[in-house]
Amino acid sequence: MWRAARRLVSAVGAGGEGSAARSLFSAVSQVRSPRRCLRPKNVSSPRPLIGLRGKAVWPGNGERTFLRKVNIAAMPEINTDDLDEQQVQLLAEMCIVIDENDNRIGADTKKNCHLNENIEKGLLHRAFSVFLFNSENKLLLQQRSDAKITFPDCFTNTCCSHPLSTPLELEENKAIGVRRAAQRRLQAELGIPLEQVTPEEIFYLTRIHYKARSNGIWGEHEIDYILFVQKNVMLNPDPNEIKSYCYVTQEELKELLEKASQNEIKITPWFKLIAETFLFKWWDNLDHLKKFVDHTKIHRM
């Protein structure tokens, strides 16, 4: 029956009869295998399904694919009218959805991945944090712009973002996809030319898993790849991303952390966790970082 329905789809083409045939094929396919899904034309969907290959699958163009469900019953609708237009556009980017062991299980929008309502149901995505040091071993910090949707106006490490569910950034061998994403965002946020920091110059150290609320609506739940760069670079920051930036010594960073503890300034929760746990030890050994490499353990913080 399933083969007959498929032949019927091929025979009648894309017209109205084809739509009916595809609907029949969809019904037969669901009986044959609940993991298969036919996407008939002209059927709208409020949000993408999650494909095994890490891409969003939108019902509506007649393509059949295998799916794996992410355990979120329904994504909430959030009004973004009061948010920065440029930052809202970025909410449509497709992040990489993972399980607690960093195994890729699908993809979802940046918006859905950063809603506390979904985070509390377990939605977890892949991210990275870059720590860039100059030739004087000073660390480049940024202050996130007031336009940022999560943790605006907070001081943090050089660059923090997400690899996207695209072929180049999904590649997992030696975390090359994450390192490509870091190169992309170093240019987008800080204006660092692509040729000045290549993926090969980005050193992958380890991973941390953390969760934090920014406000009542937005938050973070990430497995964060810790990436180090040691290089002098040219900077031309995007003011929509970065409010200010500076290079700091260890002592200057300790002073900044003390100010944050007194609520004189704000810092991001992931930066606070990393600084209090690992950063100064790594910083003391910038020429010997290989002894701290751990690609097997995920530090739960």
Active site positions, annotated: 160, 222
How many CB atoms neighbour CB 3 within 10 A?
9
Instruction: Identify the residue whose tokens are 């030696």.
Output: 174
If DSSP codes are grouped into helix, strand and coil, which group holds residue 292? helix
Give the number of other Cβ atoms within 10 Å of residue 112's Cβ: 24
Helix 2-12 and helix 16-32: axis angle, to 10°?
160
The pair of structure tokens assigned to 45 is 């969907």
| Contacts (Cβ under 8 Å, ≥6 apart) of 25 | 2, 5, 6, 8, 9, 38
How far apart are the C-alpha atoms of 32 and 67, rounded to whole Å? 15
152-162 per-residue burial string, b: 16 or more CB within 10 A, e: under 16: bebbbbbbbbb
Which residue type, as a one-letter code, is found at position 137?
N
CB–CB of 55/63 below 8 Å? Answer: no
